[in-house]
A and B are shown apart, each in its own frame.
Chain A
Amino acid sequence: EVQLVESGGGLVQPGGSLRLSCAASGFTFSSSYWMHWVRQAPGKGLVWVSRINSDGTSTSYADSVKGRFTISRDNAKNTLYLEMNSLRVEDTAVYYCAREVGTVINTNKYWYFDLWGRGTLVTVSS
């Protein structure tokens, strides 16, 4: 079965750290897939957090997490990571990993998140 499974969430105090993992199965993780983290605060909408290219050489971050979060991947282990440091109360959210794929239409390539994990809850509270 093609799936993504997140883990590593939990309760952490402000200023603390957590490492999230996203295990991929059922597809060739190391192929040309960009991977993303998206979060959703309780009762709120989806917010893009970070992305990494297929070989891990290029990353980008939302301004709200830049300098505190680090995305990485281990293609040999079919796993995506999100290292979160200096956590703040406002980082409390369900964190989803998502696979991005592209489809060519009339020479243009259109990108979308076709596969999502179930999410892992991160709660930052004292």
Chain B
Amino acid sequence: DIQMTQSPSSLSASVGDRVTITCRASQSIGTYLNWYQQKPGKAPKFLIYAASSLQSGVPSRFSGSGSGTDFTLTISSLQPEDFATYYCQHSYNMPRTFGQGTKVEIK
């Protein structure tokens, strides 16, 4: 199975900050990488697929990049509604494993 490792596990940031989250796959997965956002007590929300393609309706301050084994999710200017936990997930094959999550907290 492909293992997904995110870093950092948590970070503190202020509104307006640029935030970058990293996700690393245990083997090359091309660009078969998705990102999700989850707020406490809520279901995950799909943000990005194919490493860099934004889901319709997702604000343009979110962006994704990377290929192979290393990927990043960037929030260009953190907004109050962006404080949440973010997960990467590969879709290269089965099982569709997730990273362990990165919690973005208010500084």
Contact = CB atoms under 8 A, between A and B. Distances in A.
Contacts of B101: 45-46
A112 B42 CA distance: 18
B89 A113 contact: yes
Nearest to A50: B95
Interface residues of A, number: 24
A34 B49 CA distance: 17
B87 A46 contact: yes
B43 A113 contact: no
Interface residues of B, number: 27
Given A96-B44, A118-B42, 7 more contacts: A36-B96, A46-B89, A48-B96, A60-B94, A110-B49, A110-B53, A112-B34
A111 B44 CA distance: 16
Main secondary structure of the interface of B (DSSP, over half): loop
22 contacts: A36-B96, A45-B98, A45-B101, A48-B96, A51-B94, A96-B44, A103-B49, A103-B50, A105-B53, A108-B30, A110-B49, A111-B96, A112-B34, A112-B46, A112-B89, A112-B91, A113-B34, A114-B55, A115-B46, A116-B46, A117-B43, A118-B42
Contact of A47 (B31, B42, B85, B98): B98
A8 B36 CA distance: 25
Interface string B33-67: 01010100011111001100101000000000000
Nearest to A62: B95
Nearest to B97: A48
